[in-house]
Structure 1
Amino acid sequence: MGKAGRFACIFVPMGLTIASLLCLLLVFLGGLSKSNALGSLYFMQLDASNFTANPDLSAVDFTDIDDQFLDMFKSSFAKGDLKDFYNIYIWNYCDGTADDKSGDKTIDHCSSRQAAYWFNVKEVWGMDGAALADHFPKALDDGLKVYEKVAKFMFACYTVAFWVTVAEIVVGILAIFSRWGSLCTTIVSTAAGIFVTAAAITSTALFATFTGIVNTSLKPYHIHASMSTKMLAIVWLAVAFNVGAGFFWLISTCCCSGKSDPKHKKTTFAQRTPYTYEPLHDHHHAGGAVPLGQMGPGGAYKGGNNAYEPFRSHA
């Protein structure tokens, strides 16, 4: 099939690998600016636009309402530390205001970006004082501790997955020339698939759990948390693209060798030199040549194993 066929054979896995890389890039671009496009690429959103200083006691047991904790909320709300919403990304968070009539949300501020970021609501809401530690809901406090640890692992998985996918594209260029290149690319693709899948599972489980904790602990105060279906779709598309690429890379190790088709090779013939002899063959029979082995004495041969074959001269 040749190099053209080989190129066509790896076109699909290369395209899927690039698509997976673009999905991972969108994860890292989330929260990069206050624009609506990048601002909407969050993992989780906390909506505090309906915060109430008079908690709904029917929503939870009375013992879950801590007066001191409620005072902390009132203080944060009065100082303007409690924003209408918070978008949580892999690098940072952004907050803003929501329009009372339309409900449209506008991002006003984004925090600085840092590796292994985790959203510390105590710090963001100004509730991280030592004197207030005992009044913070225990379930939310425990959830934040787990979130901090898992967020580091999640960030590492996404980072490794991104760079290994880049390596997969670079090594994939070698697959154009041979099946060995496809084999090497398949190995790199498998590593990328492991880290992309681990990152997707970790982030989905982490924010699903944290969302549930926030909704349970802060429901009386009308603070609601939700996950982004857009980001979930992007993350799991990265997994699907990477797994698909790995499958087709594997297929390319046993298909489309890249070598030229033997049928299309040019056949070379030896150039005959003038004044040389070539043996007479049976196909000269039809032209009147004496059959081999049937000439008598005086210039021919009698036949049998001791016969000599006459030669024809080419001038």
Structure 2
Amino acid sequence: MGKLGRFACIFTPMALTLASLICLGLVFSGQLNKNMALQRDLYFFKADTSEFQANPDQIIDEVKKLPLNENLDNELLKALQDPKKASELKDFYTVGLWNYCEGTIKDGVETVDFCSERKANFWFNPLDVWKLGDAQTGALYPEKMQKGLDAYKKAVKWMVAAYVIALCLTAAEIVVGILAIFSRWGSLVTTVVSTAQTIFIMGAAVSSTAIYTTLQGVFHTVLDPYKIKPSQSTKMLSVVWLAVAFSIASGFFWLASACCCSGRAAAQKKVSVEKTPYTYERVASPYLGHRDAQQGHQLGSMAPSKGHGTSGHAFEPFRHTAV
């Protein structure tokens, strides 16, 4: 197999690595541009506050139904009942890797009005985003809300770092993969890089899924009486786990290309060349039968030499002449 065959052998893992890189790029681009539909639909977490804004009285009724909430005089409820702050509350909030976006819903159509600035280790703090000031969640499920937000804030740092490292390793995997065209050693080095990339991208996918699933549970438990509906984007989850699938598959094919597809030309097969006509080829003497060449040579040396009744050929039989 030559260099062309070697290139064909690594085409599959290279294509899978590129697909994983594209998926990671989509994850990073989520919520960065409010004018692009694809980026608007890619978010980790969404808080739908449209019903709260439309029916504040119904929220209070729902709060009164809670058996554990005997005291309605708490800071969070007061902040959400404040007409000024209620008017500032948007219909929905979507959370990406670097920032959040907010917008309104009219006739079932969502329109993004604003996206915040990008920040490293961004985390969605509802008290700040909803402009609730110093309001605390103390009286209503204080432990669940506070612990949930604290855990979310700490875990986000690891999640973002894992995504960044995975993106860098994916790009490095493509660059190093070019060396794999020339030898299996290049494939082996690329396999090592691919393994590290798979570890980090899987860690990022697992952490982001767990983090925002937990956050969704916290919002549902604490804020459900206020008709604030949390959810996750199936599109974002699909892109994230597709990146993981492409990464695992590329690592398998990189390993296969390290074990096979050497790129060396196949050994030439031995081909017997037909002799051209009218060429000399020694044949066995009919007088030797099937004895080997060595026996034939010994018999030939015992035959009378020229001048002793022979015709001049060492292996030719005696010719008798009449006296």
TM interval, short-chain normalised: 0.7 to 0.9
Q: Is the 8 A contact 2:140 2:222 kept in 1?
A: no
Please name the residue that 1:73 is paired with.
80
CA contact (8 A) 1:59 1:219 kept: no
- Pair member with larger Rg: 2
Tell me the secondary structure at the aligned position of residue 116 of structure 1.
coil
Number of aligned residues: 285
Q: Which residue of 2 aligns with 1:169?
A: 174
Cα deviation code 1:28-63 (max 9, x no counterpart): 011111022211110111000000433213663351
Supply the distance in 1 between the matched residues of 2:16 and 2:257 (Cα, whole angstroms). Answer: 14
Q: Output the CA distance in 1 between the equivalents of 2:197 and 2:45.
A: 25
Alignment partners' CA distance in 2, 1:265 and 1:118? 70
Alignment of 1:262-277 (within 5 A): 262-263=267-268
Unmatched 5+ stretches in structure 2: 272-279, 286-295, 316-323
The residue number in structure 2 matching 1:278 is none
1:292 offset after TM fit, Å?
5.2
**CA displacement at 1:137 relative to structure 2:** 4.5
Q: In 2, are the aligned partners of 1:53 and 1:70 still within 8 Å (CA)?
A: no
User: What TM-score comes out, normalization by structure 1 length?
Assistant: 0.82
CA distance, structure 2, for counterparts of residue 204 and residue 71 of structure 1: 33
Is 2:91 the counterpart of 1:93?
A: no
Residue of structure 1 equivalent to 2:3: 3
Q: Which residue of 2 aligns with 1:307?
A: none
Contact 1:96–1:105 (CA under 8 A) maintained in structure 2: yes
Runs of at least 4 residues off by over 2 Å: 52-55, 57-62, 64-68, 74-81, 131-137, 283-287, 291-303
- 238-247 vs 133-142, which moves further: 133-142
Deviation of the 1:284 alpha carbon: 2.3
Deviation at 1:228, TM superposition (A): 0.5
When normalised by structure 2's length, the TM-score is 0.80
Instruction: Map Cα deviations across residues 283-315 of structure 1 (whole Å, 9 max, x no partner).
Output: 42379xxx7562665799989xxxxxxxxxxxx
> How many angstroms apart in 1 are the aligned matches of 2:270 and 2:22?
42
Q: In structure 2, do the counterparts of structure 1 residues 301 and 208 end up closer, same or farther at CA, with 3 Å as the change threshold? A: farther
Map of 1:149-298 to 2, 5 A cutoff? 149-263=154-268, 283-285=281-283, 294=300
| Corresponding residue of 1:119 | 124
- For the 8 Å contact 1:45–1:87, the answer to whether it is kept is yes
Distance, in Å, in 2 between the alignment partners of 1:236 and 1:77 is: 42
In angstroms, what is the RMSD of aligned CA positions? 2.9
Give the Å deviation of 1:15: 0.8
SS of the residue corresponding to residue 204 of structure 1 reads helix
Deviation at 1:147, TM superposition (A): 0.7
